[in-house]
Amino acid sequence: MTPDPTTPAAPAAAPDLLYTAAEDELRAAVRALLDDRASDHAAALARAEAGGPHDPALWRTLAAGIGAAGLLVPEKLGGQGASHREAAVVLEELGRSVTRLPYLTSSVLATEALLGCDTDRPAVAALLGSLAAGTAVAVLAVPLTLGPGSPPPAAVRDTGGALDGSVTAVADAAGADVLLVPADTGLYAVPAAAVTITPQTPLDLTRPLARVTFREAYGELLAGPATAPAVLERALRTGAGLLASEQLGLAEWCLAETVRHVRGRHQFNRPIGSFQALKHRLAQLWLEIAGARAAARNAADALATGAPDTDLAVAVAQAACSRAAVHAAEECVQLHGGIGMTWEHPAHLYLKRAKADALALGTAGHHRTRVAALAGLPGPQA
Amino acid sequence: MSARPTGPAAGSHGPDATAAAASASPAELRRRTEEFLAAHPPADTGRTDFLRARFDAGLAWVHYPEGLGGLGAPRALQAVVDTALEAAGAPDNDPRRIGIGLGMAAPTLLAYGTEEQKRRFLRPLWVGEEVWCQLFSEPGAGSDLAALGTRAVREEATGDWIVDGQKVWTSSAHVARWAILVARTDPALPKHQGITYFLCDMTDPGVEVRPLRQITGEAEFNEVFLTGVRIPDAHRLGAVGQGWEVARTTLMNERVSIGGMRLPREGGMIAPVAALWRERPELRTHALHERLLELWVDAEVARLTAERLRQQLAAGRPGPEGSGMKLSFARLNQEISGLEVELRGEEGLLYDDWTMRRPDLVDFTGRGAGYRYLRSKGNSIEGGTSEILLNIVAERVLGLPAEPRDDKDLPWKDLAR
Ligand SMILES: Cc1cc2nc3c(=O)[nH]c(=O)nc-3n(C[C@H](O)[C@H](O)[C@H](O)COP(=O)(O)OP(=O)(O)OC[C@H]3O[C@@H](n4cnc5c(N)ncnc54)[C@H](O)[C@@H]3O)c2cc1C
């Protein structure tokens, strides 16, 4: 299952869209941990409102105890040498519990960026090793909305050896130790202590955002101007492909929770779940989620095997999963009625995460535009 | 007094062939297929002879039992056989013509038929020498099939059944040699209990087939009048009064038969639209582009979902996704063909041919965009409407409660109609 990054376009074998026994085991371990330590939504919400960072003890257990942070990192660099398929399973579980942990940002996006750099260089290898071990958190200093296939951002400039500029909507910047910054002269690693991180109020309370300001900040060059764009693209593509699994997990929780609710809630002397109008809506949602699962698995498998159609698989998964997750969360709020509008009920956390995820790493519209290019279906002007 | 040899556990996907699974590995099947091809070179063998021999070699549907066209092998291994045969240019048993036989009559016969019935019917069915049709729906009983009123009365002296009634929307009745038929054998019982399942000879006196012209101009389906039709008791499938249970096996198979279909990327209804889009840049608009991309993505997702279902079946873990595939494809076919008509602009106002014909197969791709648009409206009606399928997903997959109903315990003869 371990992908070999040196062999790109493997022959187009049929994708494996199921879960392996090892993936099922990993899921069980992650779910047990999150059920035990992250199922108290009220506590998590209070913590987020207080503006504190993620729960470091929980992060250590997931990252190092279960080894989830190093799934994408080869063993010789201190990781688990697993693949995107396993990382996707972790993200499904994190989506299911909307847990506030820097997994997508540090263990996927930043890790994948570092894997795209020259891993023989001690600076790259050392940072990768500490991300894999969960002893450091790194995030890409780009707006969370940046999708694959976008022009590289030009917010940070190299002014004679030091970096200047500012980036907004950087996810998980607040708890990060290192920022990976695409600047005009390449990709740099900058210690968090060397920059100003100003928290922003996020729509999605479970994924904190911040403005990161670089003022004569010194960093270590990880990739020069020739390779940095490809490194960033690799990170964004992987991030988008795996975000689909987080969206899938989120959607599944919303459906399961809504079904549970409508079976138990009585109005008009019947369970509301026996009304056909609601049954049809939930059956439609189930169909959409079945599609999202196939698309998310396909993207994870394509990333893992280096399939030649990975770009298309990612774009299709993002287009399908963004919609399914938002639809599921919106139905969850609506079919819970007044309860669904309350701060106490966790439905709003899921809605906020779903909507923010729909913007993250490219909207569904952005990814459909990618499909147009990749599948040869140009618009009117072309 | 159960007359059911294998029972409905065979369910919607035919028999579970776990026991004999070991007898056929992919390599073993490839070898058998090569051997078969060597003995029956497609170039020198007539179509019917080739298909008969293929059935007898157990390479027709490998998951069926030995002697009945199969080898008791896992269903997934059929692909190994099909690929090798296709590569050798072998004739196929075009499922468009014999879809009802293959997808519905066969699995029901396998689950409920006597040995004699299976041996008599399965081979000509598979080869396509005998086309089947489905005499289920009636003017007063469509979605509510269990309300059907066609009567079958047993003749004391002979044990034969005498059938009277009217069926409707019967696809292919005009080319069918046999029919699966449900009829009421006890009107005093509640509607689900008084039904019995029969195999009806369409050439018998008393069977009258009248074309029913449809929305597309042609007559693919028919009205069928049954007047004093005599059916021997040997052509009863399952026990007397067990018809509803048997019919459910047929219906489940009808609904999932599409789920097992394997399409390439951009296969199916999206293919002609995507091709047209590429060939005719002058037709493109921004609004149509948005819709095309959404539908292209939806079609790809439906394809992947079907592929995932297939993999689940192959891994022996049948998932509930199958019941959803018919819903997805019905919606997609309708939206995509609707888009295609609009995309064609002025040409979209034209239709290829309104001639009243009685086609012997359903041909979506051989006709124009207008035909596809109109014919696909049937996809959400035939084989269970989308509304009924959504009820099934909601109740059987999601476990939502059934709506209260008062028709289950009343004798059929006392129901409102
Ligand atoms: C092209 C085509 C081919 C066909 N071929 C055959 C064939 O070969 N053999 C055969 O036996 N039949 C065949 N049929 C018939 C088909 O199975 C029936 O038309 C179908 O089951 C619906 O029944 P109905 O037409 O009586 O509609 P009705 O049952 O009267 O339904 C009308 C509308 O009400 C809705 N409705 C009904 N009950 C409910 C409910 N409980 N909840 C919500 N909505 C409901 C339906 O979804 C539909 O929209 C064919 C139909 C078509 C269109």
Q: Looking at residue B2, what is its pLDDT?
A: 37
Q: Which residue has the higher pLDDT, A323 or A10?
A: A323
Cβ of A18 within 8 Å of Cβ of B278? The answer is: no
Q: Looking at residue B361, what is its pLDDT?
A: 78
A275 to chain B: which residues are within 8 Å by CB?
403
Interface residue A132 vs chain B (CB under 8 A): no
Average pLDDT, chain B: 90
Q: What is the pTM of this model?
A: 0.91
User: Which of A271, A278, A320 is opposite residue B301, by nearest beta carbon?
Assistant: A320
> Is B68 a residue whose pLDDT tops 90?
yes
Three-state SS string across A71-87, please? CCCCHHHCCCCCCHHHH
Ligand 1 pocket mutation pick from B222, B255, B377, B385 by most atoms within 8 angstroms of CB: B385
Sheet with strand A138-140: strands edge to edge? A138-140, A178-183, A186-191, A220-223
Q: In this structure, what is the dihedral angle of CA atoms A282, A287, A292, A294, given to the nearest 10 degrees? A: 150
Residue for token digits 């035990």?
A36
Average pLDDT, chain A: 94
> Is B20 a residue whose pLDDT tops 50?
no
Cβ distance A205 to A49 under 8 Å? yes
Average pLDDT over residues A207-232: 97
Cβ distance A260 to A205 under 8 Å? no
Tell me which of A248, A316, A321, A331 to substitute to probe the interface with B (most B C-beta atoms closer than 10 Å): A316
The gap between the terminal CA atoms of chain B, to the nearest Å, is 33
Burial class (CB in 10 A: 0-12, 13-18, 19+), A87: buried
Tokens at residue B312, please?
């689940």
Contacts of A39 (CB under 8 A, 6+ apart): A97
Please tell me if the CB atom of residue B381 comes closer than 6 angstroms to any atom of ligand 1. Answer: yes
> Of B290, B264, B329, B293, nearest to A316 (Cα)?
B293
Read off the pLDDT of residues A12-40 as tens digits, 9 standing for 90 and up. 568 999 999 999 999 999 999 999 999 88
Q: Can you tell me the distance from the alpha carbon of B370 to that of A248, in angstroms, rounded to the nearest whole number?
A: 37
Nearest chain B CA: its distance from A55 CA (Å): 35
Burial class (CB in 10 A: 0-12, 13-18, 19+), B361: middle
Q: Can you tell me the distance from the alpha carbon of A68 to that of A25, in angstroms, rounded to the nearest whole number?
A: 12
CA atoms within 13 A on the CB side of B32: 24
> Of A243, A208, A253, A209, nearest to A315 (Cα)?
A243
Read off the pLDDT of residues A141-156 as tens digits, 9 standing for 90 and up. 999 999 999 998 999 9
> Is B16 a residue whose pLDDT tops 70?
no
Taking residue A11's Cβ as centre, other Cβ atoms within 10 Å add up to 7
> Of A341, A339, A378, nearest to A261 (Cα)?
A339
Read off the pLDDT of residues A100-131 as tens digits, 9 standing for 90 and up. 999 999 999 999 999 999 999 999 999 999 99
C-alpha of residue B98 to centroid of ligand 1, in Å = 21
Strands A178-183 and A138-140: parallel
Per-residue confidence at B362, pLDDT binned at 50, 70, 90?
confident
Q: Looking at residue B319, what is its pLDDT?
A: 60
DSSP B66: B
Q: Where are the beta strands (DSSP E) in B160-220?
A: 161-171, 178-184, 195-201, 207-212
Percent of chain B whose predicted confidence (pLDDT) is above 90:
78
> Is B24 a residue whose pLDDT tops 80?
no
DSSP A119: T
ipTM passes above 0.85? yes
> Is B124 a residue whose pLDDT tops 70?
yes
Average pLDDT over residues A222-250: 98
Per-residue confidence at B317, pLDDT binned at 50, 70, 90?
low
Cβ distance A148 to A314 under 8 Å? yes
Chain-centroid distance of CA B53 in Å reads 24
- C-alpha distances in Å from residue B27, one per residue of A262, B35, B87, B365: 50, 12, 16, 35
Cβ of A16 within 8 Å of Cβ of B398? The answer is: no
Cβ of A270 within 8 Å of Cβ of B404? The answer is: yes
Q: How many CB pairs under 8 A join A and B?
A: 126
Q: Which of B254, B307, B340, B403 is catalytic?
A: B254
Taking residue A376's Cβ as centre, other Cβ atoms within 10 Å add up to 11
DSSP B108-173: HHHHH--HHHHHHHHHHHHHTSS-EEEE--BTTBSSSGGG---EEEE-TTT--EEEEEEEEEEETT
Per-residue confidence at B15, pLDDT binned at 50, 70, 90?
very low
Average pLDDT over residues B74-98: 89
Residue nearest ligand 1's atom 35 by CA: B387
Please tell me if the CB atom of residue B382 comes closer than 6 angstroms to any atom of ligand 1. Answer: yes
Q: What letters, b where the CB count within 10 A reaches 16 and e where it falls short, cover B58-81?
A: bbbbbbbbeebbbbbbbbbbbebb
User: Which of A290, A368, A380 is opposite residue B324, by nearest beta carbon?
Assistant: A290
Per-residue confidence at B42, pLDDT binned at 50, 70, 90?
very high
C-alpha of residue A23 to centroid of ligand 1, in Å = 43
Ligand 1 pocket mutation pick from B131, B132, B143, B388 by most atoms within 8 angstroms of CB: B143
Nearest chain B CA: its distance from A125 CA (Å): 37
Q: Can you tell me the distance from the alpha carbon of B61 to that of B15, in angstroms, rounded to the nearest whole number?
A: 11
Nearest chain B CA: its distance from A27 CA (Å): 18
Cβ distance B71 to B28 under 8 Å? no
Q: Can you tell me the distance from the alpha carbon of A289 to that of B343, in angstroms, rounded to the nearest whole number?
A: 30
Per the document, the length of chain B is 417
Q: Looking at residue B112, what is its pLDDT?
A: 98
Ligand 1 atom index nearest CA of B384? 21
Q: Can you tell me the distance from the alpha carbon of B131 to that of B68, in angstroms, rounded to the nearest whole number?
A: 18
Tokens at residue A105, please?
């940002």
Q: Looking at residue A382, what is its pLDDT?
A: 57
Per-residue confidence at B301, pLDDT binned at 50, 70, 90?
very high
Q: Can you tell me the distance from the alpha carbon of B113 to that of B108, in angstroms, rounded to the nearest whole number?
A: 7
User: Which H/E stretch holds residue A271?
Assistant: strand A270-271
Cβ distance A272 to A262 under 8 Å? yes
Read off the pLDDT of residues B230-289 as tens digits, 9 standing for 90 and up. 999 999 999 999 999 999 999 888 876 655 667 899 999 999 999 999 999 999 999 999
Cβ distance B88 to B82 under 8 Å? no
Chain-centroid distance of CA A321 in Å reads 12
